[in-house]
Chain A
Amino acid sequence: MDNQIMDLLFNLLGILFLPFFCSLIIVFSGQIRNTVAPFFSLLSGLGSLFLTFLLIKEFSEPIRFSWDWIALGVHKFYIGFFIDSVGLTMLAMIAIVAFAITIFSIAYMSKDDSKGRFFAGLSFFLFSMIGIIFADNLIMIFLFWELVGFSSYLLIGHYFRRDDAKDASQKAFIVNRVGDYGFLIGIILTYWHFGTTNLEALAILIGADVSLISSGIGFFLICGFIGKSAQFPLHVWLPDAMAGPTPVSALIHAATMVAAGIYLLIRVQFMLSFEVMSFISYLGTFVALFAGFCAFAQSDIKRVLAYSTLSQLGYMSAIFGLGFPGIALFHLITHAFFKALLFLGAGSVIHACHHEQCIFKMGGLLKRMPITSLTFIIGTLALCGVYGLSGFYSKDAILIGAHDANNLVFYGLVFAALLTSGYMGRLIWIVFFGSPNSQAAKNAKEVNIIMYLPLVVLSFFAIFVGFTNLWPAQLGATILFDLDYLHHLVNYKVLHNKVLILGSGAWILGLTMAFLFYGRGTKFDQLEKQLPHIYSLLKRRLWVDELYAVYLDKVQKPIAESFSFLDEMVLRGFIVRGCAGLIGIIGASLRLLQVGRLDNYVIWFFIGLIAFWLYGLNMF
């Protein structure tokens, strides 16, 4: 028995630290770093995959390990692992997606001259992400939460010589800081109220007395989710984060890190009051619609996908807010696979078109890059929720759940589904059909096998991952629980048919409309031409960025400048420099007395003696 536990522990530690040591080795391998980096990353990815499968095979009940970490007087903090089927499902998804993306990166980054930095960052990100999955308390989650933010910053800024990448990495970091600040306050409040941040202990405390749930704490805790999952109003960093290398966008900004917000919600669900849940639900619906609209005004292939990610994250939080964490997780998993596939497909297109990202300069790529195009189209169809593909099952469940709980959210999400297929249709028709619109697209060739193999593997998952009965029995208990609930609704059949008709209608209508409106392989944005006002409204993204710019410029900057004045002039200039100056002047004048002549000193000595004498006589 003891042996078994030790094996389990080593397995967990292996999964957690393999990527960490991988990044460490890459960082410390000096000059040969660029050569060895892909090899070590591949090895670590393979090892992680193997260990994860081993863990899934061994898994029967939630795993708990806990160690003392810091003791501050009476406040004791622990560090520990807690893995249940939710965490395990996430872990399996991360291991598979990360491995596929690592392989893709080897080819995609082959000409990059700082591969070492890239792969080390990628491995370090995986370490941090797995840390979030494994954490058993909020403080440890926060720790790794910050580390994923940091590695995201590193990787977005990979091309740091380009201004947009540099700015985007800082923007992502700072915007996340805003959300994380709220999250930290939430954690402190949690500790203050409950005396622990251990998730299971909290669940027991709240389970015993439901009146302990506080909306205030809940709102602070979900700040972390809003920042990391790029929900409104902190969504601004995600589209800009596309300045990073495409595999990074696929792994961090589509499949895993942004989904960590949803994972956090699932973990702390028992602490969220009804008001907070409704708020999340409406927020998610709003983001799903808002991002869907914005995607229409983007001409960068990756930015379209980024808005699509936002919109899908909106879906997840909408259904989560309605009380179906399992379905949110289900969509998270299916979305991770097909969105990673779409991003890698986009990466492959960008690679073939010599780093051209504007969709209006592509066109006609289906004939030139058949495998990439087909896998990309599979991903798109999965995203749109075409019957039989993975996206259908999760979206179907979301829509049924929403219909059951809240009509407003339901119709919002159906309309968002229409938008999704609309902008994805626009992307597909313009990029892959028609004739090429630039020399780069004309010369595009199918990428090599190292790049399209991950696409094929991921498209396999994008098709089949929706069949939950094919999953290992250890995974997805929460998902099955929620799906089961839906299946046992009294009017399930009617609902299912309604959702099927609405959902399928949405994607058919969306793709057709996109075809009719945009046509194949067009050079110009039809929307911009025909409805310039709406286009510019969408292009400006509701002026959120501008609003922030004005806020920063008009409110924050004067405050910061006044503090800076206080610091520079009063503190540094007056107090610090003033003291130093005063001492300096005294020193300089005293130096004048130091003439080096013995008789002068004797006179001073004598004067001093007389002064003492007078003092002794009480003359002063």
Chain B
Amino acid sequence: MVLIGINEFIYVASILFLIGLLGVLLRRNTIVIFMSIELMLNAINLALVAFSRFNNSMDGSIFVFFIMTVAAAEVALGLAIIVMLYRQRQTILVNELKQLNG
């Protein structure tokens, strides 16, 4: 029987976080980048829940609830922004959105 300890949770969370980070770095589609950000958030959530469980304390779990709430609000806003962006520019690819170039 394989014992699942805190390390395994942290490995999974780190892998999820790196996948999310690479997604943000490499993908061009705003929606995918957005999803990657959500993935990173959930990696953090996972880590927090694991720590919470490991420490026999509810603090981390409570924090996760807040993060999920905020993430939901953020998704609503972010998607709205992306929709508006598409209406304005007819594109949501970040390599075509270079107006802020100094």
Pair from one complex:
yes
Of the four ranges (under 10, 10 to 19, 20 to 34, 35 or more), the interface on chain B belongs to: 10 to 19
A596 touches B26 (CB 8 A): no
Task: Determine the distance from Cα of A598 to Cα of B28 in the docked complex, in whole angstroms.
Answer: 9
Query: Chain A's nearest CB lies how many Å from the CB of B39?
Result: 14
Cβ-neighbour of B97 out of A598, A603, A606 (below 8 A): A598
Closest B residue by C-beta to A590: B102
Task: Determine the distance from Cα of A595 to Cα of B100 in the docked complex, in whole angstroms.
Answer: 8
The reply on B21 being an interface residue by CB < 8 A is yes
B101 touches A595 (CB 8 A): yes
Contact with B along A582-620 (1 / 0, CB 8 A): 000000000101111111001100100000000000000
B101 touches A606 (CB 8 A): no
A602 touches B102 (CB 8 A): no
A603 touches B101 (CB 8 A): no
Of the four ranges (under 10, 10 to 19, 20 to 34, 35 or more), the interface on chain A belongs to: 10 to 19
The reply on B68 being an interface residue by CB < 8 A is no
Query: Chain B's nearest CB lies how many Å from the CB of A613?
Result: 14
Task: Determine the distance from Cα of A602 to Cα of B21 in the docked complex, in whole angstroms.
Answer: 9
Task: Determine the distance from Cα of A273 to Cα of B6 in the docked complex, in whole angstroms.
Answer: 102
Cβ-neighbour of B98 out of A597, A602, A606 (below 8 A): A597
B28: chain A residues within 8 A (beta carbon): 599
The reply on B56 being an interface residue by CB < 8 A is no
Task: Determine the distance from Cα of A393 to Cα of B26 in the docked complex, in whole angstroms.
Answer: 110
Closest A residue by C-beta to B33: A598
A599 touches B25 (CB 8 A): yes
Task: Determine the distance from Cα of A599 to Cα of B33 in the docked complex, in whole angstroms.
Answer: 10
Task: Determine the distance from Cα of A591 to Cα of B101 in the docked complex, in whole angstroms.
Answer: 9
Whether A594 contacts B101 in the complex (CB less than 8 A), given A599-B26, A599-B94, comes out as: yes
Task: Determine the distance from Cα of A599 to Cα of B21 in the docked complex, in whole angstroms.
Answer: 11
A597 touches B94 (CB 8 A): yes
Q: Determine which residue in A591, A594, A597 has the highest number of CB atoms from chain B within 10 A of its CB, and name it.
A: A597
A591 touches B102 (CB 8 A): yes
Task: Determine the distance from Cα of A602 to Cα of B25 in the docked complex, in whole angstroms.
Answer: 6
- Using a Cβ cutoff of 8 Å, how many contacts connect chains A and B? 31
The reply on B82 being an interface residue by CB < 8 A is no
Task: Determine the distance from Cα of A151 to Cα of B28 in the docked complex, in whole angstroms.
Answer: 77
A596 touches B25 (CB 8 A): no
Task: Determine the distance from Cα of A257 to Cα of B33 in the docked complex, in whole angstroms.
Answer: 87
Task: Determine the distance from Cα of A595 to Cα of B101 in the docked complex, in whole angstroms.
Answer: 5
Task: Determine the distance from Cα of A29 to Cα of B49 in the docked complex, in whole angstroms.
Answer: 87
B102 touches A606 (CB 8 A): no
Whether A596 contacts B102 in the complex (CB less than 8 A), given A602-B24, A602-B25, comes out as: yes
B21: chain A residues within 8 A (beta carbon): 606
Interface positions of B from 79 to 95, Cβ below 8 Å from A: 94-95
Whether A606 contacts B25 in the complex (CB less than 8 A), given A597-B94, A598-B94, A599-B94, comes out as: yes
The reply on B99 being an interface residue by CB < 8 A is yes
Task: Name A's interface SS.
Answer: helix
B98: chain A residues within 8 A (beta carbon): 595-597
Closest A residue by C-beta to B26: A599
Cβ-neighbour of B99 out of A591, A593, A596 (below 8 A): A596
B100 touches A596 (CB 8 A): yes
B95: chain A residues within 8 A (beta carbon): 597, 599
A596 touches B101 (CB 8 A): yes
Interface positions of A from 485 to 513, Cβ below 8 Å from B: none
B100: chain A residues within 8 A (beta carbon): 594, 596
Closest B residue by C-beta to A596: B101
A597: chain B residues within 8 A (beta carbon): 94-95, 98, 101
Q: Determine which residue in B28, B97, B99, B102 has the highest number of CB atoms from chain A within 10 A of its CB, and name it.
A: B102
Q: Determine which residue in A591, A593, A602, A606 has the highest number of CB atoms from chain B within 10 A of its CB, and name it.
A: A602
Task: Determine the distance from Cα of A593 to Cα of B102 in the docked complex, in whole angstroms.
Answer: 8
Cβ-neighbour of A603 out of B25, B33, B99, B102 (below 8 A): B25
B25: chain A residues within 8 A (beta carbon): 599, 602-603, 606
Task: Determine the distance from Cα of A598 to Cα of B97 in the docked complex, in whole angstroms.
Answer: 8
Contact with A along B23-55 (1 / 0, CB 8 A): 011101000010000000000000000000000
Query: Chain B's nearest CB lies how many Å from the CB of A603?
Result: 6
B33: chain A residues within 8 A (beta carbon): 598
Task: Determine the distance from Cα of A328 to Cα of B99 in the docked complex, in whole angstroms.
Answer: 86
Interface positions of A from 552 to 599, Cβ below 8 Å from B: 591, 593-599
Interface positions of A from 417 to 467, Cβ below 8 Å from B: none
Task: Determine the distance from Cα of A27 to Cα of B28 in the docked complex, in whole angstroms.
Answer: 73
Query: Chain A's nearest CB lies how many Å from the CB of B30?
Result: 9
B26: chain A residues within 8 A (beta carbon): 599
Task: Determine the distance from Cα of A596 to Cα of B97 in the docked complex, in whole angstroms.
Answer: 8
B99: chain A residues within 8 A (beta carbon): 596
Closest B residue by C-beta to A591: B102
Q: Determine which residue in B26, B28, B94, B97 has the highest number of CB atoms from chain A within 10 A of its CB, and name it.
A: B94
B102: chain A residues within 8 A (beta carbon): 591, 593-596
Task: Determine the distance from Cα of A597 to Cα of B93 in the docked complex, in whole angstroms.
Answer: 11
Closest B residue by C-beta to A587: B102
A594: chain B residues within 8 A (beta carbon): 100-102
Task: Determine the distance from Cα of A602 to Cα of B102 in the docked complex, in whole angstroms.
Answer: 16
Task: Determine the distance from Cα of A602 to Cα of B98 in the docked complex, in whole angstroms.
Answer: 14
Task: Determine the distance from Cα of A599 to Cα of B30 in the docked complex, in whole angstroms.
Answer: 11
Closest A residue by C-beta to B102: A594
Query: Chain A's nearest CB lies how many Å from the CB of B28?
Result: 8
A591: chain B residues within 8 A (beta carbon): 102
A595: chain B residues within 8 A (beta carbon): 98, 101-102
Query: Chain B's nearest CB lies how many Å from the CB of A299?
Result: 74
6 contacts between A and B (CB under 8 A): A594-B102, A597-B94, A598-B94, A599-B26, A599-B95, A606-B25
Known: A594-B102, A602-B24. 12 other contacts (CB 8 A): A591-B102, A595-B98, A596-B98, A596-B102, A597-B94, A597-B101, A598-B33, A598-B97, A599-B26, A599-B95, A602-B25, A606-B21
A-B interface, 8 closest residue pairs, ranked by CB to CB distance from nearest: A594-B102, A596-B101, A596-B98, A598-B94, A596-B100, A591-B102, A602-B24, A602-B25
Interface residue ranges, B against A (CB under 8 Å): 21, 24-26, 28, 33, 94-95, 97-102
Interface residue ranges, A against B (CB under 8 Å): 591, 593-599, 602-603, 606
